[in-house]
Structure 1
Amino acid sequence: MRWLFRLFLILLLALGLVGFGMVERDPIIAKTEPPSSKDVREARALVQRVRFLSRAPEASEQVLEVPAATLEGALRMGARMVPGFRGKTELEEGQLRVLVAAPIPRTKGAFWVNLDVSVPSYTGELQLDAVRIGRISLPPALALWIGRVGADLFMGSGSSEAIMTAVEQLDVTPEQITARLDLDVSQRSEIAARVFGTLRGGTLPSAPEIDRYYVAIREALDDGRLPTRGSFIPHLRFALEMAAEDTGADNRANAYTAAIFALAEACGASEFGLISERLVPDWTDAGRDWQRGCSKVTFANRIDSKRHFVTASAIQAASNRGVAVSIGEFKELFDKTRSGGFDFTDITANNSGIRLANRMMGAPAEEWPRLLGRIQTESDVLASFEGIPGLMPRKEFDARFGSVDSPAYRAMLDRIETRIDGLPLHATP
């Protein structure tokens, strides 16, 4: 009923936007460039800086400086997560202007919602100078009220307060914005969890739920029921079989998410801990003196492929496809200049894991035994790497594919998705 109510509100809002001139035929800004490796590096550094500041003992120490170029890069990255999204910032002395264009879903770019917001330098709660949606100018106070109501409606009561007060002071110059934060670790984690929960369509499983799966996986490793070398398939089946036993009509998404979170913590990329601590801040991962692990277990005879697969599947379970795909893509862009190059086989492992999450979470509980029966070997869930370009230095990637928005790049992604379509897990009966 909650989601029916939200759908009704969205439809009502859409009709209102059309009737009052808030929907336009053309986007307010031209198509933005795809994110570059530099954008990803700077965004990564920015996230690490926010993480460090949230742990600062004194609020006066939480000062964040963000250059104009970094803001633009962040918007380009956002465009990869939300299909059709376009964003741009303009900085003047004492004024930050944000322009956003988003297409109306299912209109094939025929209709757009354009947003033009001016944010002044301020001290205290977030303030706005001017707000324009389409051809309509809104009083700033009304726009803030609508934003508060929307945040609380879609992200849960209290979300607006946490967001509105996260930056207690903003200073804007033509070169950068300087933000004084009022944010501790728990607040940061709460905001992240609510954002991911909104993308996901529901709250994430609790820390005790995830701990139960994690302990079971680690105990199975310690007593020899799960191997410490060889294929990752036994570990994946173990987690999914546990989730299948817990799965009912109302909790299959949470059962899968708890199982895959625990599996990613045990066997995935070390960076997954940075995500999990934001989404489930009370999760302790049931730390014990475990004797055996799965760090040397592989997919396609590669440790990194296993990590990519299970980590992407866990992020997908916590969010939506746009976020999970983009995070994997951003990592490859970062690696292009820092870790040797861009690797489409990593993207293949990422997308195979994402599709596993979609398949299991989208299936009725009674179909899970049949789906588990299809997962017997690696080739049932992981697309073949044959003919897929592996590690490419930056110059080679640029020469062959140009950017992540080029026809050649999209054709390679289509080729990967076609292979995943043909896997036994996803094949039509």
Structure 2
Amino acid sequence: MMARAFRWLIGLLVTLFILILVAVVGLSIAIIQKQPLVAASAPNQLDGADTVNTLLAQLNTAFSKREEGHTIVLSETQIESLVGVLQRAVPHFRGVVNVTANGGTVAFTFSPNNDDIYINVSALILPGKALTIDYITLGDISIPGDTALGLAEAAINRYTRSEIGTLALTRVEAVVMRDNEVELQLGPLDELLHEIDNVSNQLSVDTNNELETLTAYYLRYISGRELALSSTPVPLIEYLREGMARAREQSQTPDDAVIHNKAVIFALAAFVGHHRVGHLVGNIQPNPDKALKPRSAAILAERNDLARHFIISAALELMGEAGMSLAIGEFKELMDRGLGGSGYSFVDLAADMAGAEFAKVANHPDHAIEVQNAVARIQSDLDIMPPIEGLPEGLSKAKFTERYQRVDSPPYIAQVNEIRRRLANIPLYRD
């Protein structure tokens, strides 16, 4: 009897396995396709990056006046630009957006290995009194929009153990669409932002984040050093020297050196870059209501903006995919071409790229201890930052277009390659 039951159980398990295998194979065939749905060009999309400044101003107002309702107007050009920077940063991703008075379509294609296999997704968003999605397609599979939204809401709530998904959806009180433009009428964001803060704090506690603890330590340590109290600008290399010297004392193994180096970079990015960078790691400020900052600005090549570009890009490189910090830096420069901006600067871009290179070697187990020792010996900005002579900056959109057309043109690529050549001459960044 037991042997018969055992055979029956084995047979049932084999049958279930075959059914699941057939379902997975069938689902894969339905999702994976041989042709891409989107073939958009990121450089063309990024041409409108300078228009995003007005969108950021609207969002800043909504976040600062969080107890009030707000209307956010997004142009198709702004949305396309944001898709473009994502496309520039994430390999094998392509996206496109089209907005009309009757609805907006969003489509993207992802090719995991950049071969002939594509995952295509599209959705139709409708105007209405709430966020309304008509349908979402995944390959050959079509899902009703309300079902997809419900699943997404439940998944977010479950993952965060909160009501963030529900709160986010209910904040959208109306979606108005016009040709090439979307208007979002939002309710007060205070409750949603408060819940996000709570979840962020809880996740940090749950994961026992060693990096968060170390970053908070180095932030306090550096802020208490004499150079942080200087009444005159302090070279960034001095801050790096101070932090890395302490990291060297605390590192017994290459793995120790990696996490201590990362903590120093994040602490400096929050201290001399921008305090909000610290949120990438967690709650690192001793007083959440008053962020620590130096008495005087840090400088690189005698400029505060370059010090901030360098150290913030280093922090972003540690958090993102390879190339993410470059894409963000490039996008910021494209935004600066607009009226009132400082113009496109290859000098700023050089600082972004140098910061990313510094983060790469500092975060590599084979080089982390070597970086600690090397930083203790550096005497010049040129030990971490390439020469900036001859690099164009202050380019308006008209001047940039006249000289470089767009970000994938041969002249533009040649200028970026010149920065890479200069970086390669810095001993710290050589393989």
Instruction: Report the Cα distance in structure 1 between the residues aligned to 2:198 and 2:39, rounded to whole angstroms.
Output: 32
- Alignment partner of 1:385 out of 384, 388, 398: 388
Q: CA RMSD in A?
A: 4.0
Partner residue in 2 for 1:336? 337
Partner residue in 2 for 1:409? 412
The 3 A distance-change label for structure 1 pair 326 and 422 is same
Contact 2:87 2:95 in 1 (8 A): yes
Aligned AA (1:70) = Q
The structural deviation recorded for 1:344 is 1.0
The structural deviation recorded for 1:349 is 0.8
Residues 210-225 of structure 1: matches in 2 within 5 Å?
Answer: 210-221=215-226
The 3 A distance-change label for structure 1 pair 252 and 18 is farther
Sequence identity of aligned pairs in percent? 20
Partner residue in 2 for 1:26? 35
- Alignment partner of 2:357 out of 355, 358, 364: 355
Instruction: Report the Cα distance in structure 2 between the residues aligned to 1:242 and 1:406, rounded to whole angstroms.
Output: 44
Residues 15-414 of structure 1: matches in 2 within 5 Å?
Answer: 19-34=28-43, 39-56=48-65, 58-59=67-68, 61-93=69-101, 95-104=103-112, 106-108=113-115, 110-123=116-129, 126-140=131-145, 143-144=148-149, 147=152, 158=162, 161=165, 164-165=168-169, 167-175=171-179, 176-182=181-187, 184=189, 187-188=192-193, 209-221=214-226, 228-229=232-233, 231-246=235-250, 255-268=260-273, 272-276=274-278, 280=282, 283=285, 284=287, 287=290, 293-295=295-297, 297-337=298-338, 338-363=340-365, 367-375=367-375, 376-377=378-379, 378-414=381-417
The structural deviation recorded for 1:244 is 4.2
The 3 A distance-change label for structure 1 pair 145 and 187 is closer
Highest CA radius of gyration, 1 or 2?
2
The 3 A distance-change label for structure 1 pair 395 and 318 is same
Name which of structure 1's ranges 236-245 and 307-316 shifts more when overlaid on structure 2.
236-245
- Local SS of the residue matching 1:388: coil
The 3 A distance-change label for structure 1 pair 123 and 288 is closer
Instruction: Report the Cα distance in structure 1 between the residues aligned to 2:430 and 2:231, rounded to whole angstroms.
Output: 29
Aligned AA (1:170) = A
The structural deviation recorded for 1:348 is 0.9
Aligned AA (2:35) = D
- Local SS of the residue matching 1:308: helix
Structure 1 length normalisation: TM-score?
Answer: 0.76
Structure 2 length normalisation: TM-score?
Answer: 0.75
Instruction: Report the Cα distance in structure 1 between the residues aligned to 2:43 and 2:197, rounded to whole angstroms.
Output: 25
The structural deviation recorded for 1:371 is 1.9
Q: Which runs of 5+ in 1 are unaligned?
A: 1-11
The structural deviation recorded for 1:46 is 1.7
Contact 1:118 1:130 in 2 (8 A): yes
Matched length:
397
Give CA deviations for 1:333-376 in whole Å, capped at 9, x if unaligned: 12223334222121111111012112222326xx5332222232
The structural deviation recorded for 1:21 is 3.0
Partner residue in 1 for 2:12? none
Instruction: Report the Cα distance in structure 1 between the residues aligned to 2:189 and 2:55, rounded to whole angstroms.
Output: 16
Instruction: Report the Cα distance in structure 2 between the residues aligned to 1:192 and 1:326, rounded to whole angstroms.
Output: 27
The 3 A distance-change label for structure 1 pair 288 and 83 is closer
